[in-house]
Chains A and B, each alone.
Chain A
């Protein structure tokens, strides 16, 4: 298996623009997690899905953030509009008791 695949690996965008991050989880995994990592706040859980259904989005910082999982093989995290403080590495992970992380998307909002 290729593991959890995220795209793009790097994204630079201007403040106010819409940003969409993509994730393909490992086939057969029931859980999908979106995490954000920054120097200041560390690794934070934003939202997670179980069998494509959002279970807990209490970590989503603002209404500007939204996440979807239309099917078992694809999830998106959207930020609209983006702000400089959204700059971070965004990780998608899938699995269960053992979470497998994707390589992350490094987002820079200028």
Chain B
């Protein structure tokens, strides 16, 4: 079952904040976040494990609510380089490696 991401698209000005949500109907073991720029490969941002702590990557952080099977990605003080499509990948199988089911993606556009 594919996780559902919201919103589908976000438009920001530099310096603004954004939150991207990822919800699953299955109990999750881990959630992985990737960013993909147009015409390029997805790039790993972070992984959140069941029972783990909130993770951070520069000004990008994420949380994982195991009870609700939800994860949120927080982008603060956005930069032009943050533009791209953000994907959450979920694993319900009790592993932490990349056997993932990806959401449909959230397109983030940051303007000057």
Contact = CB atoms under 8 A, between A and B. Distances in A.
Contacts of A96: 96-98
A42 B102 contact: yes
A97 B99 contact: no
Chain A contact surface mostly:
strand
Interface in B1-40: 2, 30, 32, 40
A93 interface: yes
Given A56-B99, A95-B97, A43 B41 contact: no
Contact of A98 (B40, B47, B101, B104): B47
A103 interface: yes
A45 B47 contact: no
Contact of B99 (A33, A42, A98): A33
A97 B104 contact: no
Interface of B: 2, 30, 32, 40-44, 47, 87, 89, 96-105
Nearest to B101: A45
Contacts of A99: 32, 44, 97-98, 100
B70 to A, nearest CB: 19
Contacts of B96: 96-97
Contact of B97 (A31, A42, A101, A103): A31
A100 interface: yes
Contacts of B102: 42-44
Residue among A48, A91, A95, A98 with the most chain B CB within 10 A? A98
Interface string A60-90: 0000000000000000000000000000000
B41 A103 contact: yes
B98 A33 contact: yes
Given A42-B2, A42-B104, A101 B99 contact: no
A47 B97 CA distance: 13
Contacts of A31: 97-98
A101 B41 CA distance: 6
Nearest to B96: A97
